[in-house]
Structure 1
């Protein structure tokens, strides 16, 4: 029989200790070549990224690059650390440079030296003689490194610049015959999902010549991305229809493009990290990830591929001669996994090769599955995923409604997705509803929706969060006196914006490495996002008044809501002094508050113990702030507590 207890006070087997009791924290990158699949997984305890492979029809895992953490730091967010060559040998990057390993039991050869992170490398393509990649040179201005494409001679280790002059580069891809190099580039003030271009050059060994523009979105508000060779033709993604779709064209300037799957869904993702593959092809198949739906095109016919249990996909991969498409996938009751689907079989059988958390362990837990909840905000349809409380061991007193935890995702382009997140289940299993909101600016709803946040950051997204909470209250889903919110990075700025709004309905908040001072961020932030604020808010210093108006740090007097601040001491994206200053000012104003700083953590917590500590601190603070006795303890020190 269920125990009656107030929402939010329930005990649960889903604890932060469970987060680390898994095969790995997440699966980060993946590629299939021949009869083997290779992937990078993040160790749940150390946070280091480890490289493995296994036969596609076998179970034995093999460790590569033993002792190395396979990851990059280009654009500060990294990505594009792994490239498997056609013979099954691997190229990989670490913060120490570029490395080659012929087989898992052979030695590791260094091809390029990072010189104490002065040079960064990512996003590889290769010929028999040369490696081509994105290179970031930090020799000069530390805040404004030079980005370029380079070649590395595999025998002499000599490097050569093959493209420079733009602010950023991605997706260098060598043509099948090795004669041409194609890539994506963009410059400030654009982000990689704004106006970009696709360029091409002739190759002679590691030298490039005759650079030409194939596709140019400058001044046209068109985003071009993910160039991929199809023989001597080219596939790219663009959003000229308001939706990212895949197009084929000749590899020449002003070539006519054919949309290969014209749908009102996104076949791409904002390029925060390098190396994403949202579509993949070989001689027989083209597979596209359209915002959680896989489509396969073969012999000019496109069909939807059933993926029972899985709703989120990335890093699609096909062997040139294979019929199995591989992906990193997840779903409402499935953690990130390496899966494959046999495209040659009409029933599309799905096989699981590696799970970050065993599905049998997940199935033994009570998982709250989300429903899409749509509401109006400023006349616009906005949606999110609503997770009701779920724990059969408890029932709430009759007539009561649960607290709701609003989640403001980061980016702000990153979408709220419905894949398994035990942090959400940590809350739902304790009697707290979770609402993960896809506010204006989120990805997955077309370019126009994503651009609704431009010039309106801190206003449109704030209104969407508050209006979403009000809609849940109006439908009787949640307790209006226990509306909670947490968010990280841009999501942290979002929650602070809610707290200074005259329409604020939030009763307690936790900001994780959130932005508090837009003026300071404009001075401190790194190169990739140097002009992002210009798009989201306005030109600086011409529109400095808007920056000040929307910076929570200048409106401490408006914050009457209990709030805690959690931040990593090594954060290079949002310096920790933003959280420290906010905490000190909020504490001085008499509002309930707390501060937790973590040694060795950057922008995003990776260490297992820190993830445990920060999750417990978040829950404990929120419950205490709204008068619920939490079922767990935390070492977080709360100042100005409500008595």
Structure 2
């Protein structure tokens, strides 16, 4: 059947903004409680809450344990951390603890008991000056000091965003701390600015965790800490056993025999290592690589409690690994043999194990994220929850291409190209399509090659997308990450521009209809791209979401503690290079913007606060550059509510329709101020 001829950007599509919103987010924080699998799952249609999901052992459907408005998230380091943990009990079914986003308290619930209502374990905010936050819990129903939860405690000590302390703490399971902060036992001091939750050795006599301090980010340098757990449940003999200022250990776990397993970038790549603590003092070989490769077995630790590997019964290790992607493999630590699992999934995320079973969250170019179980004895894999369902004919999905572009000085730039694609439409001969460059957030992050209906929303209408994993991204080793050291606003902008220019030079993109967009750090890259000589005249418009626009303000008192000194490595020390902060900030070059832009901002964002947008627009006003500024009540850093996602998506399309001269009658008009 012949395709209909119509200009790029004008094609009809069954993928609307409501469908994009309904598929936003993915399952996260997988874990097991006995033989059961639990995780959190997004609910955009329920105010953006995250539901706590339970998959019964032996079959049955996954279901939400807690009704709305329970929201299983937390704000530790603002990006949050693992929000739940569970344990089995002999007679009463599982006991699960979780954090509730609305009040940041730690709760417990026994879902199989007659009284299923959660009860609080920690004090309400009004009972504690400054407030408390919790994450990355471990449930000890028979702990050395009685039934407790051991977890990270983040405690604010003043009014400022950096007036706080973090420790590992023990919270009684009987609820006695709900009215009395003094009942909470602190297992560590607050000498380290950042800590992860404890991991207990198989015999319960040792604990291990990660720690780091300003100005390092966890992908710069972390320390592996251990302690002896006393009979009374206290930590003694605390020591550093691995890591350092230039070594990032992203995860630590215990092997069944009591050795430590690390994901360390000591070699320049996050690889798995084994550390025999009992022999470490006398044997240089006590720490060894298990599978040395120029691949990543971990990524940036943006949220406390993320996992990339897990030990299995019998000594094998389930490990995510790859270069520019994350596959699932089963590693034999004795031989170093790594056998990848089979299946259609090309990108794996969260990971959990139970006996010889591996459970992960996995997706591919034609499938969204699903909860997948692998039986390592048989190699059999099956989707057990969050099954991918084609809401439209998959012929409308994009057909991505992995590309390596050439940047300044001949450097490689990794990217994914999503050309326009429609089963029933094609453009007139000789017409080149409009393209939008997507800059990911972080900036120490990566855009995965998976089905994303937000991308399909544009490509199925005839607008191409190129996701650029610019220098500084994870997935390609430490040297690639370090390209952005003191070069943020330079390398990222140059790499995005190089990808756009090469697509145009190849005839794959219309050089007059190029756009750039991004959120958070990607919003910064977008704004700089519209104000930097490195991309002058390249882009016809841009979409800037919850961005950083003023480096000096962000480095002083306009962001949260976790990233408050991030710019020390991304730009340089403010005290040493203050002019660099000013020279790179879009706020101080608003007069250079000559093309329309859309600015999207959540009003509850404490990471990239609205005040930056307001100062920026004050500089833009009067320049006669068309722009739209949309703000969203109740949204923080990143959008979670269906109505927000719908409006943002449709407004972005409207910007491109109006700027690129596309004719459509199904797009709301975007009012552009001047």
TM-score (norm 2): 0.90
Distance apart, 1:104 and its partner CA? 4.1
- The match for 2:180 is none
Partner of 1:76: 78
2:649 is aligned to 615
Query: In structure 2, what is the Cα distance between the partners aligned to 1:435 and 1:385?
Result: 6
**CA distance, structure 1, for counterparts of residue 664 and residue 577 of structure 2:** 44
Which deviates more, 188-197 or 58-67? 58-67
Please name the residue that 2:361 is paired with.
328
Deviation at 1:47, TM superposition (A): 0.8
Aligned residue for 2:414, secondary structure, equals: strand
- Assess if the C-alpha contact under 8 Å between 1:237 and 1:267 holds in 2: yes
Q: Give the C-alpha shift of residue 55 in structure 1.
A: 2.5
Structure 2 Cα separation of the partners of residues 363 and 55 of structure 1: 32
User: Aligned residue for 2:138?
Assistant: 125
* CA separation of 1:20 and 1:133: change in aligned 2, threshold 3 A: same
Cα distance between partner residues in 1 of 2:645 and 2:534:
32
Change in 2 beyond 3 A, CA 1:360/1:216: closer
Contact kept, 8 Å, 1:580 with 1:595, in 2: the verdict is: no
Aligned to 2:38: 38
Match of 1:309 among 319, 322, 344: 344
Whether the 8 Å CA contact 1:564–1:583 is kept in 2: the answer is: no
**d(CA) in 2 for partners of 1:566, 1:305:** 41
The counterpart of 2:539, out of the listed 506, 523, 526, is 506
Q: Residue 101 in 1 paired to residue 101 in 2?
A: no
Other-structure match for 1:421: 452
Counterparts of 1:143 and 1:497, CA distance in 2: 26
CA distance in 2 between counterparts of 1:48 and 1:387 reads 30
Name the CA distance, whole Å, in 2 between partners of 1:42 and 1:104: 23
Give the aligned CA root-mean-square deviation in angstroms: 1.9
CA separation in 1, counterparts of 2:650 and 2:404? 30
Distance in 2, matches of 1:21 and 1:491, equals 23
Structure 2 residue matching 1:407: 3-state secondary structure: strand
Q: Distance in 2 between matches of 1:627 and 1:63?
A: 46
Q: For 1:441-452, list aligned pairs within 5 A.
A: 441-452=472-483
* Structure 1 residue 114 displacement after superposition: 4.4
> Is contact 2:654–2:669 with CA below 8 Å preserved after alignment?
no
CA shift, 1:201, in A, is 1.3
Partner residue, 1:339: 372
Is this contact kept in 1: 2:513–2:540, CA < 8 A?
yes
Match of 2:268?
Answer: 242
CA distance in 2, matches of 1:268, 1:53: 26
SS of 1:247's partner is strand
Q: Secondary structure of the equivalent of 2:187? A: strand
Aligned pairs, number = 632
Deviation at 1:126, TM superposition (A): 3.3
Give the Cα–Cα distance (whole angstroms) in 1 for the partners of residues 565 and 87 of structure 2: 36
The separation in 2 between residues aligned to 1:373 and 1:491, in whole angstroms, is 20
Match of 1:526 in 2: 560
Q: CA deviation at 1:40?
A: 0.9
Secondary structure, in 3 states, of the residue corresponding to 2:391?
helix
- Deviations along 1:83-133, one digit per CA (max 9) or x if unpaired, are 122443212112331122233453323221241571000011233232211
CA deviation string 1:288-332 (max 9, x = no partner): 10032221024735233234321221221111xx22200111211
Q: Where does structure 2 lack aligned partners over 5 or more consecutive residues?
A: 178-182
Retained in 1: the 8 A contact 2:400–2:418? Answer: yes
> 3-state DSSP class of the match of 2:198?
strand
Residues 548-577 of structure 1 show CA distances to partners (whole Å, capped at 9, x for unaligned) of 000011011211121111101111011112
In terms of mean alpha carbon deviation, does 46-55 or 303-312 score higher? 303-312
State the TM-score, normalizing by the size of structure 1. 0.95
Q: Kindly indicate whether residue 140 of structure 2 is the aligned counterpart of residue 134 of structure 1.
A: no
Query: Which residue of structure 1 lines up, in the alignment, with residue 579 of structure 2?
Result: 545
- Measured in 1, the distance between the counterparts of 2:616 and 2:60 equals 51
**1:54-69 paired onto structure 2 within 5 Å:** 54-67=55-68, 68-69=70-71
Question: What secondary structure is seen at the aligned counterpart in 1 of 2:396?
Answer: coil
Q: Is 1:275 the counterpart of 2:305 in the alignment? A: yes
Moved more, 94-103 or 273-282: 94-103
